[in-house]
């Protein structure tokens, strides 16, 4: 029982991070119908910002968090303006290729600065609490709680503010929304800022939980978060959160009860089966396209 | 528009001209180097390249190598494998066909060395890998007989696994062991299995044999499983960039069992990344800078003055690989790939920085001793020797 609870905690931690990153994919897709494949590398930049802030400025947790978040949000906005906006009317494949290109640029830019894996110093005192055999670290608590807070705030913004309403309007119909006075470019920038900012937070939390970071760290995690977003129904915010936790739990549970060699194999087979029955993801709805 | 096209074409041509200027004169011995300069383990590549440049400089400062009455200088062509098997293979291909090298040193990681060695073997070019310990590197993948053109300077994993299993049982008094290894990497997988076999043959029990895949950062599920099996020692035959994460996560889960590692731990980067978490643990490796033979101190000092740090095992083994090459070249009557191969295969013993190596006829694997080091106050401290 304790063993199961411990594994559930592990799953919650991993799932929180996947969910935070998946939100970035899903928000951009929801509003632009475009998959931002550079998002995994935004996440990596968040981790490196945290490393820089913690190593060279020795700032405590909260400023580090804010800087990572703001820095990556800014990066997201700039990338959208410079790389994606000119291609908004171009075929969708061009936009995807550009996104991949941006990702490779970010990886190699970081790589050119220094190819060595970096160690992120601990910025919050890590204490472990033991409750009848169940071990929980303060870091784990922070990751889980902070992720849930972030997701609640995002949910509030999207559902209960004017900006959120504009986002939903653009997502609903990109062509009619501007006619109703919705400032499309402005809202797209805000969407990118929010999505990338969450990616930055995820990168920062990740670099504290797994404090050895390298320029390629975003690739695999980015894929997994993308898969989470698809499983939850890409374009749907609640779906991305749920998808993240599902993927985290499946990965941990497979490793916990089956030989760990089969982890990815079993985890992704399960997700494939799920997509056979719900091809648009759990919360996704089929979109009909007018020809 | 036209100006831009013109600019692009002229830049392209310039690159071609620069790239085409590499063919040297016939008075040089062309040696290729494949190292992991970028990617997962850049520290390995950097040590390898440093030692290689030093070895080549020594040869050239001494006036070169005399073959059949003619002095040859050595010229080094370094390629980056980026720690990736495919790029290691294409680097080998490039060195052989474009740079027309006489011999190749590297790559170091077994996952890179195995594909590169296949290319070298089929092209009949000597390849000496300094650091690869997986037995498959020097064996033909189809028939299992030793490759004719592939040699190495390191011991092999069956030996290392045996040394570690005996150390765990004898010195650490462990009856139950757990293993966490990267199932996607030849080196990690090989040594994990050899450790398991010998540990169980010697009366121990492996209570958890868990794996992950390269680039994983979260090991909490596997470590929780290991904790549940309550082992006496946890064996982590993984690279220096992953071990710190594994140990830190284990500590966060409340695991207090001692950890044991293999030669992929032996980079100063490990201590940088791990901090206090790795204190007191043991690993096996190829040599210890403090207990090395007198012949080695010259190398250690020279390396220290040149690069400002103590050479790690990769640097020492790279230097030894060049030593082997140099010895074989010195006895040649004419300079070509086949006679070099014959000369290297005739070497039966070599006294290197990493100790005495003995080669059996027809095998590219040296028989040599290993050392066990302990991490103490942020340094690698000699603990024991293990004879073959």
User: Which ipTM did the prediction report?
Assistant: 0.83
B228 touches chain A (CB under 8 A): yes
C-alpha span between A158 and A235 (Å, rounded): 13
B351 plus B268 within the same structural domain: no
Residue B202 covered by a domain? yes
Percent of chain B whose pLDDT exceeds 70: 94
Q: Which residues of A touch B241 (CB under 8 A)?
A: 117, 212, 214
B179 plus B269 within the same structural domain: yes
User: Domain of B353?
Assistant: 29-62+72-154+292-368
Distance from B192 to chain A by nearest Cα, in Å?
Answer: 13
pLDDT the model gives residue B18? 56
Distance from B340 to chain A by nearest Cα, in Å?
Answer: 36
pLDDT the model gives residue A129? 83
pLDDT band for position B95 (cuts 50, 70, 90): very high
**Lowest-confidence range among A123-132, B62-71, B183-192, B314-323?**
A123-132
C-alpha span between A101 and A86 (Å, rounded): 15
Distances (CA, A) of A150 to A160, A199, A224, A230: 15, 11, 20, 21
Residue B167 covered by a domain? yes
List the CATH number of the domain containing B269.
3.40.50.2300
CB pairs under 8 A between A and B: 94
Q: Which residues of A touch B269 (CB under 8 A)?
A: 116-117
Helix (H) or strand (E) holding B384: strand B379-386
Calculated CA dihedral for residues B268, B272, B276, B279, nearest 10 degrees: -10
Nearest residue in A to B272, CA atom: A119
Residue numbers of B between 68 and 97 with CB closer than 8 Å to A: none
- Asked if B269 lies within 8 A of A256 by C-beta distance, the reply is no
pLDDT the model gives residue B188? 94
pLDDT the model gives residue B14? 65
Give ∠ CA B196-B202-B206 in degrees, rounded to 5. Answer: 35
pLDDT band for position B138 (cuts 50, 70, 90): very high
Distance from A54 to chain B by nearest Cα, in Å?
Answer: 15
B206 plus B314 within the same structural domain: no
| Residue whose C-alpha is closest to residue A47's, from A7, A11, A20 | A20
Query: A38, exposed or middle or buried, with CB in 10 Å at 0-12, 13-18, 19+?
Result: buried
Q: Which residues of B touch A130 (CB under 8 A)?
A: 254
B264 plus B298 within the same structural domain: no
Nearest to B245 among A13, A140, A210 (CB): A210
pLDDT the model gives residue A132? 76
pLDDT the model gives residue B305? 94
- Asked if A10 lies within 8 A of B273 by C-beta distance, the reply is no
pLDDT the model gives residue A243? 94
pLDDT digits (tens, 9 = 90+) for A65-108: 999 999 999 999 999 999 999 998 888 889 889 999 999 999 99
Distances (CA, A) of B35 to A24, B2, B11, B82, B287: 37, 41, 28, 8, 20
- Asked if A217 lies within 8 A of B217 by C-beta distance, the reply is yes
- Asked if B252 lies within 8 A of A128 by C-beta distance, the reply is yes
Contact criterion met (CB below 8 Å) for B382 and B361? no
CA B282 to chain CA mean position, Å: 19
Q: Which residue has the higher pLDDT, B179 or B22?
A: B179
Nearest to A210 among B217, B225, B228 (CB): B217
Residue B249 covered by a domain? yes
3-class DSSP assignment, residue B269: helix
pLDDT digits (tens, 9 = 90+) for A232-245: 998 889 999 999 99
C-alpha span between B306 and B48 (Å, rounded): 14
Residue B179 covered by a domain? yes
B32 touches chain A (CB under 8 A): no
Residue positions counted in chain B = 388
B162 plus B259 within the same structural domain: yes
What secondary structure letter does DSSP report for B146?
B
pLDDT the model gives residue B13? 65
Residue B374 confidence (pLDDT) above 90: yes
Q: Which of B188, B218, B244 to mutate to test the interface with A (most CBs of A within 10 A)?
A: B218
| Residue whose C-alpha is closest to residue B177's, from B194, B159, B157, B153 | B194
Distance from B79 to chain A by nearest Cα, in Å?
Answer: 16
What secondary structure letter does DSSP report for B308?
S
Residue A290 confidence (pLDDT) above 70: no
B199 plus B269 within the same structural domain: yes
C-alpha span between B110 and B108 (Å, rounded): 6
Strands B366-367 and B355-359, how do they pair? antiparallel
C-alpha span between B51 and B154 (Å, rounded): 15
Distance from B10 to chain A by nearest Cα, in Å?
Answer: 24
B171 plus B241 within the same structural domain: yes
Among B285, B314, B329, identify where a domain stops.
Answer: B285
pLDDT band for position B25 (cuts 50, 70, 90): low
| Residue whose C-alpha is closest to residue A79's, from A132, A42, A124 | A42
| Mean pLDDT (chain A, rounded) | 90
- Asked if A115 lies within 8 A of B37 by C-beta distance, the reply is yes
User: Domain of A148?
Assistant: 2-218
Residue B378 covered by a domain? no
Q: Which residues of B touch A3 (CB under 8 A)?
A: 224, 228
Distance from B180 to chain A by nearest Cα, in Å?
Answer: 10
Residue B381 covered by a domain? no
Domain count, chain A: 1
pLDDT band for position A138 (cuts 50, 70, 90): confident
Nearest residue in B to A208, CA atom: B245
Nearest to A260 among B212, B242, B244 (CB): B212
Residue B252 confidence (pLDDT) above 70: yes
Residue B250 covered by a domain? yes
The pTM assigned to this predicted structure is 0.83
3-class DSSP assignment, residue B35: strand
- What average pLDDT does this structure show over B16-43? 76
- What average pLDDT does this structure show over B192-205? 94
- Asked if A128 lies within 8 A of B248 by C-beta distance, the reply is no
Residue B173 confidence (pLDDT) above 60: yes
B207 plus B137 within the same structural domain: no
pLDDT the model gives residue B69? 85
Q: Which residue has the higher pLDDT, B33 or A122?
A: B33
Q: Which of A117, A128, A211 to mutate to test the interface with B (most CBs of B within 10 A)?
A: A117
DSSP letters along chain A, please? -HHHHHHHHHHHHHHHHHHHHHHHHHHHHHHHS---TTHHHHHHHHHHHHHHIIIII---HHHHHHHHHHHHHHHHHHHIIIIIGGGTTS-HHHHHHHHHHHHHHHHHHHHHH--S-EEPPP-S---EEEETTEEEEHHHHHHHHHHHHHHHHHHHHHHHSHHHHHHHHHHH-TTTGGGGT--HHHHHHHHHHHHHHHHHHHHHHHHHHS-EE-TTHHHHHHHHHHHHHHHH-TT-HHHHHHHHHHHHHHHHHHHHHS-GGGHHHHHHHHHHHHHHH-TT-SS--------
B44 plus B139 within the same structural domain: yes
Residue B48 covered by a domain? yes
B281 plus B202 within the same structural domain: yes
| Residue whose C-alpha is closest to residue B325's, from B58, B80, B112 | B58
Nearest residue in B to A138, CA atom: B252
Among B232, B257, B285, identify where a domain stops.
Answer: B285
Residue A38 covered by a domain? yes
Radius of gyration of chain B (CA): 22
Residue A140 confidence (pLDDT) above 60: yes
3-class DSSP assignment, residue B124: coil
B147 plus B48 within the same structural domain: yes
Residue A13 covered by a domain? yes
- Asked if A220 lies within 8 A of B218 by C-beta distance, the reply is no
Structural tokens at position A1: 């029982």
Domain count, chain B: 2
pLDDT the model gives residue B17? 58
Residue A273 covered by a domain? no
- What average pLDDT does this structure show over A191-208? 94
Residue A263 covered by a domain? no
C-alpha span between B219 and B247 (Å, rounded): 10
């Amino acid at each position: 029982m304790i063993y199961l609870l411990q594994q559930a905690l592990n799953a919650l931690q991993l799932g929180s991070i996947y969910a935070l990153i998946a939100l970035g994919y899903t928000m951009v897709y929801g509003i632009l119908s475009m998959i931002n494949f550079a998002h995994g590398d935004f996440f990596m930049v968040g981790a490196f910002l945290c490393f820089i802030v913690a190593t060279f400025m020795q700032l405590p947790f909260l400023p580090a968090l804010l800087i990572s978040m703001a820095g990556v949000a800014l990066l997201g906005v700039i990338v959208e303006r410079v790389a994606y906006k000119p291609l908004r009317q171009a075929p969708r494949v061009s936009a995807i290729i550009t996104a991949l290109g941006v990702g490779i640029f970010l990886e190699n830019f970081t790589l050119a600065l220094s190819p060595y894996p970096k160690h992120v110093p601990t910025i919050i005192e890590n204490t472990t609490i033991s409750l009848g055999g169940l071990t929980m670290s303060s870091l784990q608590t922070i990751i889980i709680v902070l992720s849930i807070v972030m997701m609640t705030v995002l949910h509030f913004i999207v559902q209960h503010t004017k900006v959120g309403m504009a986002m939903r309007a653009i997502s609903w119909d990109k062509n009619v929304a501007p006619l109703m006075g919705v400032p499309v470019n402005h809202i797209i920038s805000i969407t990118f800022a929010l999505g990338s900012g969450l990616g930055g937070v995820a990168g920062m939390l990740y670099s504290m939980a797994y404090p050895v970071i390298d320029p390629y760290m975003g690739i695999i995690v980015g894929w997994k978060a993308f898969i989470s977003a698809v499983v939850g129904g890409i374009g749907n915010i609640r779906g991305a959160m749920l998808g993240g936790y599902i993927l985290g739990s499946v990965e941990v549970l497979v490793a916990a009860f089956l030989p760990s060699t089969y982890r990815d194999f079993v985890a992704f087979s399960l997700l494939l089966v799920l997509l056979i029955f719900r091809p648009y993801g759990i919360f996704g709805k089929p979109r009909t396209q007018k020809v | 528009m036209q100006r831009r096209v013109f600019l692009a074409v002229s830049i392209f041509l310039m690159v071609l001209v620069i790239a085409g200027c590499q063919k040297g004169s016939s008075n040089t011995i062309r040696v290729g180097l494949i190292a992991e300069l970028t990617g997962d383990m850049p520290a390995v590549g950097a040590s390898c390249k440093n030692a290689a440049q030093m070895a080549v400089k020594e040869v050239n400062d001494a006036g070169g190598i005399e073959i059949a009455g003619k002095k040859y200088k050595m010229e080094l062509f370094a390629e980056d494998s980026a720690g990736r098997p495919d790029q290691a293979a294409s680097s080998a291909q490039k060195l052989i066909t474009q740079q027309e090298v006489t011999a190749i040193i590297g790559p170091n990681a077994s996952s890179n060395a195995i594909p590169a060695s296949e290319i070298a073997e089929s092209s009949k070019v000597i390849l000496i890998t300094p650091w690869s310990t997986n037995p498959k590197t020097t064996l033909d993948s189809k028939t299992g007989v030793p490759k004719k053109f592939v040699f190495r300077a390191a011991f092999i994993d069956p030996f290392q696994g045996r040394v570690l299993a005996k150390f765990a049982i004898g010195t650490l008094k462990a009856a139950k062991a757990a293993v966490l290894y990267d199932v996607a990497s030849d080196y990690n997988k090989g040594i994990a299995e050899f450790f398991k076999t010998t540990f169980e043959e010697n009366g121990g029990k492996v209570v958890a044999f868990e794996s992950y895949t390269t680039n994983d950062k979260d090991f909490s599920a596997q470590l929780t499983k290991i904790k549940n099996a309550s082992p006496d020692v946890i064996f982590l035959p993984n690279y220096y960039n992953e071990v710190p994460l594994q140990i830190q996560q284990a500590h966060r889960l409340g695991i207090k069992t001692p950890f044991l590692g293999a030669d992929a731990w032996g980079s100063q980067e490990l201590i940088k990344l791990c901090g206090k978490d790795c204190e007191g643990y043991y690993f096996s490796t190829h040599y210890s800078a403090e207990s090395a033979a007198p012949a080695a101190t010259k190398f250690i000092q020279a390396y220290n003055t040149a690069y400002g740090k103590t050479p790690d095992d990769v640097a020492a083994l790279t230097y030894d690989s060049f030593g082997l090459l140099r010895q074989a070249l010195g006895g040649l009557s004419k300079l070509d790939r086949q006679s070099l191969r014959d000369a290297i295969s005739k070497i039966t013993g070599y006294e290197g920085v990493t100790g005495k190596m003995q080669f059996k006829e027809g095998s590219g694997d040296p028989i040599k001793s290993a050392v066990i080091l302990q991490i103490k106050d942020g340094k690698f401290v000699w603990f024991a020797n293990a004879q073959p």
